[in-house]
Structure 1
Amino acid sequence: MILSDAEHQNVADAIRRAETSTSGEILCVLSEADSYYPQVALAWAAAIALLVPYLLWLTGIDIGMMMPPGWQPGHWEDATTIAYHRFGLGYTVLPIALFILTYAVTLVPPVSRFLTPRRIRRQHVHRSALEQFRARGLRRTARRTGVLIFVSLSDRQAEVIADEGIYTRVPPEAWADAVATIVAGIKRNEIATGLVEAVERVGTLLATHFPPSAENPNELPDKVVEL
């Protein structure tokens, strides 16, 4: 478990308190799964495989001399031919080796996150949040007022996704404070505290635009779902 039982209870209580003053429904999803960016790894591997041999050539380093000795000229070969063979083999083997090594290293999650542009990581988190929004049934609320607070611990990012009924009155940028609160909590290693504060901010915003209805049913579970 990512959160302790007590922390789960604290977040659940915060959700219940927030929903008493609004007809909106709040659900939290917390993901600890490592994020992989194979397309970024491929780009880095290709760049390193192409650039390093070229830079070595510019600096005057003979890549052919990196190949193991032992080539002996035959009766039709001379030293110049052997040198060309070594040079060609060096420019074949070195890029392949660099590509494989770089690709393997850049797939390691911490390295991958460091080398992946923030914009690409944000797009990944957004897609993951949308998938959870659909999978958790937030579109099945009566007034389309479901709100998902999605947190990716591996990417240290968060996303707030609201249903159509809320987006008509609350623009996406209105959730920025809640997202910043979660990210700050992750950095302090106080995930539950950040979630509780984010739920309170989301609840305050919902209460302003979506006061509770006469019945105000509880349509979504008041809890944190861990992935």
Structure 2
Amino acid sequence: MGAVKTKRMPRAVREQQMLDAAVQTFGQRGYMAASMDEIAELAGVSKPLVYLYLNSKEDLFTACIRREAQALVQAVRAGVRSDLPADRQLWEGLGAFFTHTAQNPDGWAVLHLQARTREPFAAEVTAMREEIVAFVTQLIVVAAREAHRDPDLAEREVAGLAEALVGAAESLAAWANATPGTTARQAAATLMNFAWAGLGNLMEGRPWTPPPSEN
């Protein structure tokens, strides 16, 4: 009796299956603990085929980072409509961010917990983060122009605000994914309430100022 022939799968589809299995394994077990054997088994392929397609564990992890980073950036950009008021744009962007990280907890764990603390992988995450910070910076600039109060808000101040907002979103996403019952909408509303009150005051020309130095 002859061997049963399986339907040949396109390389791109097979590679995505491997990446899916790798993201799940790396996200749940961590980079060091994850093995190529379990990734291959989860993907339903042989370990030599994983090596053939993706060369090494390091290259496989890098491919996972790039795919998950690109998906997150695309989700955030797609979630923002440019015809909305500035506060709604920020709200929609935060909603898209938290929805994506909630729906892809293993991918977010790869980006936020595994990759950012290890070289050379940290550079891949930094590039993604810089793109999101630049996007948020532009949203704040648009808000300043809309307010007609401070269209020339200092570039350094805007960049600092965007950096703080993205950092808060990252921490909150990690907390939300680890806290049962917390929805993406609740996480977005929490950060919006925290951030927009301050941003709104800034745009209206009512920034908080530190007390005079005693020195």
Same fold (TM over 0.5): no
Whose strand proportion is higher, 1 or 2? 1
The alignment's TM-score, normalised by the length of structure 2, stands at 0.38
**Higher RCO (CA-CA < 8 Å; seq separation 6+):** 1
Whose helix proportion is higher, 1 or 2? 2
The alignment's TM-score, normalised by the length of structure 1, stands at 0.37
